[in-house]
Structure 1
Amino acid sequence: MVNRIKAGLLVSSLLWLSPFVCAQQANSSTARIEPEIEQSQVTPAKLDSENVVLALRGGVIAIEDFGSSGLVALQLGYHINEDFYVNAEFAQAKAGLTSYERLSGAAAPLLTDSEREWRYYGAELGYVVLPGQVFLGRNWAFNTGWSIFAGGGNVDFAGDKVFAVKLGSQFRLYMTDWLALDLQVTDYVFETTILAESKTTHNLQLGLGLALYF
């Protein structure tokens, strides 16, 4: 009889203490663990929200059959959103001599000086494929954007005006919030009959310039 009374008292004591034990376990399981690693402060990039871009570019263009010449281009662009943009461009160069003119000592020039003026004006649509960053050391990071574009316009050359397709790629390095360095590779594709036969010419251009955001 005594053993039964002791057993009953033990069970009652355990039942009375069980809520306090569970509460203590719950408090210990929800305790916060503070990390010992100190987090670094990150400063987000500050870029202007303006969407209008004015770019001036200089470079070299290889006019098919006429060698390489210097080129100057002026662009006015508008960024539709973070991915797409449109540009209007005017570019100018002056064609050199053909291989025939070089061999003949330029005794029989194919074109006059005014006809050697090469001009392009047109528009294009671009898409930013890879936005990213370039790091120079530990403390300097510059935003970048690599894009592709396609468009069309007119080429005035050799006394004729023809339609040209423009294809290319552009890499832009943002040096400040309003100034960017612009590297561009372009192919102007158009039909020509200058050398007495109709053919499709590819005129490759490599240019470097500056882009202003406002």
Structure 2
Amino acid sequence: MVNWIAPGVLASVLLVISSTAVARQNSDSNSRIEPDITQSEVIPARLDTENFAVGLRGGALAIEDFGTSGLAALQLSYHINEDFYISAEYAMAKAGLTSYERLSGAAPLLTDDERQWHYYGAELGYVLLPGQVYLGRDYAINTGWSVFGGAGNVDFAGDTVFAFKFGSQFRLYLTDWAALDLVVTDYVFETTILAENKTTHNLSMALGLAVYF
């Protein structure tokens, strides 16, 4: 009698364990929460792969001691990689009258030709903050904020002097081949126009268009 009781008890225990496991599995399956998440479509940035860009800008230049005048600049850039670029620039403006000339009514210090201001030089730039500007929920424009420094020559007041150039540029990519630029620059050079040797800071702000090719 003991011989058939032991197998019967073992079979009963196994049946209870199996039933408990199945019930637990069914309970877990019924209580599982499936997330309802809609996958958003990611569109990669479409930027031109060309490395050269030519830019034309217009703005204002504050020539120290000579007031503020209009500025025009032409720039050719080569993008070494996504971070660094080098540029060559030519800029021109025309100086106004000094405060002394306005108040004293004396003879002008400079002729019209000598008031022509020209800069030509080169610079190295670094894209510090690449990013995007969002227009609504579905449209984004690529941007880049960079800093730069360089040097060149300034022709002004009948003389040619060495000049340093420092500034920053904010670029807004309108298409894959065109971008809008806002550039702030300080041209630093020495002058002796007012009978003393002094270092001048000549600040400019210009807005322009750059085209990649």
* TM-score for the superposition, normalised by structure 2: 0.88
Question: For 1:35-50, what aligned pairs fall within 5 Å after superposition?
Answer: 35-50=35-50
Q: What letter matches 2:87 in structure 1?
A: N
Q: Which residue of 2 aligns with 1:123?
A: 122
Paired residue secondary structure (1:81): coil
Q: Which residue of 1 aligns with 2:109?
A: 110
Q: Which residue of 2 aligns with 1:70?
A: 70
Unpaired runs of 5+ residues, structure 1, are none
Q: Distance in 2 between matches of 1:10 and 1:135?
A: 72
The verdict on how the C-alpha distance between 1:213 and 1:33 changes in structure 2, with shifts beyond 3 A counting, is farther
Q: Which residue of 2 aligns with 1:86?
A: 86
Q: Which residue of 1 aligns with 2:159?
A: 160
Q: Distance in 2 between matches of 1:11 and 1:95?
A: 106
> Percent of pairs identical after alignment?
74
Q: Which residue of 2 aligns with 1:149?
A: 148
Paired residue secondary structure (1:127): strand
Q: Which residue of 1 aligns with 2:189?
A: 190
Q: Which residue of 1 aligns with 2:97?
A: 97
Q: Distance in 1 between matches of 2:9 and 2:99?
A: 112
Unpaired runs of 5+ residues, structure 2, are none
Paired residue secondary structure (1:164): strand
Deviations, residues 21-42 of structure 1 (Å, cap 9, x unaligned)? 79xx7xx99xx98642221222
The ranges of structure 1 where at least 4 consecutive aligned residues each deviate by more than 4 angstroms after the TM superposition are: none
Q: Distance in 2 between matches of 1:170 and 1:104?
A: 40
Q: Distance in 1 between matches of 2:35 and 2:139?
A: 28
Deviations, residues 141-160 of structure 1 (Å, cap 9, x unaligned)? 10000010000000011111
Deviations, residues 61-114 of structure 1 (Å, cap 9, x unaligned)? 000000001000000001111111111000000000001110122x31111111
Paired residue secondary structure (2:102): helix
Q: Distance in 2 between matches of 1:140 and 1:42?
A: 12
**C-alpha displacement at 1:10, in angstroms?**
4.4
**C-alpha displacement at 1:140, in angstroms?**
2.0
Q: Which has the larger displacement, 131-140 or 196-205?
A: 131-140
